[in-house]
Amino acid sequence: KKTDIQKVLSYVDKHYTDADAKYAGIAKGKNVFVIHLESFQQFSMNMKINGQEVTPNLNQIYNSDSTIAFDNFFNQVGQGKTSDAENMLETSTFGLPQGSLFATQGNDQTFQAMPAILKQTEGYSSAVFHGNNASFWNRSNVYKNMGYQYFFDASYYDTSGDKAMGYGLKDKLLFNDSIPYLERMQQPFYAKYITVTNHFPYSLDEQDKDPNFTTTNTDSDIVNGYFETNHYLDQSIGEFFDYLKKSGLYNKSIIVLYGDHYGISNSENKYLASVLGKNADDWNDNDNAQLQRVPFMINIPGWHGGGVNHTYGGEIDVMPTLLHLLGVDSKKYVMMGQDLLSGKSNQVVAFRDKNFVTPKYSYINETIYDNKTDQAITNPTKSVLKEIDAAKQQVKEQLSISDDINQKDLLRFYTPSGFKSVDASKYNYSNGLA
Ligand code: GP9
Ligand code: MN
């Protein structure tokens, strides 16, 4: 077991990327909002339908020079879906090859996660706001092991009648009804909001539809509904930003927004093709892979060095990127990802099934694709093969090291210097801020 963790630590050491001085610590001491955009994909950004923007508020954030936005950022979830995304963002390790880590191992897993690290290094308090029940994805147990101080789940809000649907409290109400709790939190805080309204099957109550927004007219109700719930989610973000600005919290905070995974499944993508200006007839596996892009943006009010960054990366890379922005020395933490702003990340994006995407090529179900032409390379040259083989090795190693850590609970055997193990019994989520 000692040798297992040694292997992990030498991997971590070899893959560590130093912060770029341009970004190191630019958000030090700020409150952090992490806004989880449920099932939200990158293609909706800046998209217009019938001349209207689907997500005008998110677009404004995306296009702002106070925002670092990524347009080659991929979701890397497996069967754990939302819970895998959360796990990657909080720990920079992957979900499991099968099932959900949260659900199967969350009760007594050893985590060295964002809330505990930020508490211990910079004195942050922490909370999750979510309109579903605490037991979904076993969150209440996992969050305690991650060191979350508060979890404001469905029981903290009025979810009666038409205030909730599908997976819980509607997003506009989640943001609005969380304010009394948020305002009592000690600053600086790390606050995560998990939205739910933009979740399959993408239906909205009539009164939640914007009469000024008309969606697509494809043969798929899923696709047409998707843009409507995208638009609702976007409005909820707009309302929350209005509140942040009015309350003065905005200038003391940074806001991280990310999409957790696809909303439109591969089988439905042919209906999406026409909306994206593509041909459904020659749709291939690489088209599906390229659609695994989701937003990742960091809005830093008062700072103006932003723009759209084209670095390839994924959810596994958020934690190292964020820690450096917050001025936290991250070298001693066990992370499978790399700082996307370091300029030194390897840009090989692993999917949970070992397929992968790089800036030049994609490797999907044993086929190599050229990203310039989107066509399969049937007779790869020696040099292409060499590049692909090297990337294949990297992906295999990254996933297997991550699985070793999680399946064997290896962090039991390693405590970063100065880090105090989380004591889950300290947390009780039923009494809020009392
Ligand atoms: C429910 C939500 C949905 O609480 O987070 O999870 P998903 O179905 O997307 O994994
Ligand atoms: Mn989800």
Task: Give the residue-averaged pLDDT of 91-109.
Answer: 98
The pLDDT tens digits for 66-88 are: 999 999 999 999 999 999 999 99
* Separation CA 127–CA 393 (nearest Å): 38
Residue 409 has pLDDT above 90, yes or no: yes
Q: Residue with the nearest Cα to atom 1 of ligand 1?
A: 167
Q: Give me the phi and psi of 198, to 5 degrees please.
A: -85, 60
SS3 for the chain, per residue?
A: CHHHHHHHHHHHHHHCCCCCCCCCCCCCCCEEEEEEECCCCHHHCCCEECCEECCHHHHHHHCCCCEEEECCEECCCCCCHHHHHHHHHHHCCCCCCCCCHHHHHCCCCCCCCHHHHHHHHHCCEEEEEECCCCCHHHHHHHHHHHCCCEEECHHHCCCCHHHEECCEECHHHHHHHCHHHHCCCCCCEEEEEECCCCCCCCCCCHHHCCCCCCCCCCCCHHHHHHHHHHHHHHHHHHHHHHHHHHHCCHHHEEEEEEECCCCCCHHHHHHHHHHCCCCCCCCCHHHHHHCCECCEEEECCCCCCCEEECCCEEHHHHHHHHHHHCCCCCCCCCCCCCCCCCCCCCCCEECCCCCEECCCEEEECCEEEECCCCEECCCCCHHHHHHHHHHHHHHHHHHHHHHHHHHCCHHHHCCCCCCCCCCHHHCCCCCCCC
| Closest CA relative to residue 351, chosen from 431, 285, 282, 272 | 285
Q: Is 229 in the pocket of ligand 1 (CB under 6 A)?
A: no
Alpha carbon distances (Å) from 203 to 25, 151, 174: 41, 27, 18
The alpha carbon of 28 and the centre of ligand 1 are apart by a number of angstroms equal to 31
**Which atom of ligand 1 is found nearest the CA of 167?**
1
Number of other residues whose CB lies within 10 A of the CB of residue 307? 12
At 413, the pLDDT band (50, 70, 90 cuts) reads very high
- Determine the average pLDDT of the residues in 382-401: 98
Is ligand 1 within 6 A of the CB of residue 198?
Answer: no
Find where tokens 């995407």 sit.
357
0.90 exceeded by the pTM? Answer: yes
The bridge status of strand 375-376 relative to strand 367-370 is antiparallel
The two structure tokens encoding residue 311: 């670095």
**Angle at CA 47, nearest 5°, toward 60 and 175?**
50
Ligand lying nearest the CA atom of residue 137? 1
Ligand 1 centroid distance, CA of 140 (Å): 14
Report the nearest atom of ligand 1 relative to the CA of 133.
4
Would you state the pLDDT for residue 434? 63
**Cβ pair 249, 240 in contact under 8 A:** no
Two tokens at 121? 């290094």
Q: Which of 256, 262, 289 is nearest to 90 (CA)?
A: 256
Q: Report the residue count for the chain.
A: 434
What are the tens digits of pLDDT across the range 174-206? 999 999 999 999 999 999 999 999 999 999 999
Phi-psi region of 48 (alpha: psi -120 to 50; beta: other; left: phi over 0): beta
Does the beta carbon of 74 lie inside 6 Å of ligand 1?
no
101-115 burial, b at 16+ Cβ within 10 Å, e below that, comes to bbbebbeebbbbbbb
- Say which residues have a Cβ less than 8 Å from residue 426's Cβ, sequence separation at least 6: none
Q: What is the pLDDT of residues 293-352, one digit of tens each?
A: 999 999 999 999 999 999 999 999 999 999 999 999 999 999 999 999 999 999 999 999
Q: CA 196, 200, 202 angle in degrees (round to 5)?
A: 85
CB of 196 shorter than 6 A to ligand 1: yes
Q: What would the pLDDT profile of 204-231 be if each residue is shown by its tens digit?
A: 999 999 999 999 999 999 999 999 999 9
Ion ligand 2 residue ranges (Cβ < 5 Å): 81-82, 260
CA–centroid distance, residue 342 to ligand 1 (Å): 32
Asked if residue 75 lies in contact with residue 37, where contact means CB atoms within 8 angstroms, the answer is no
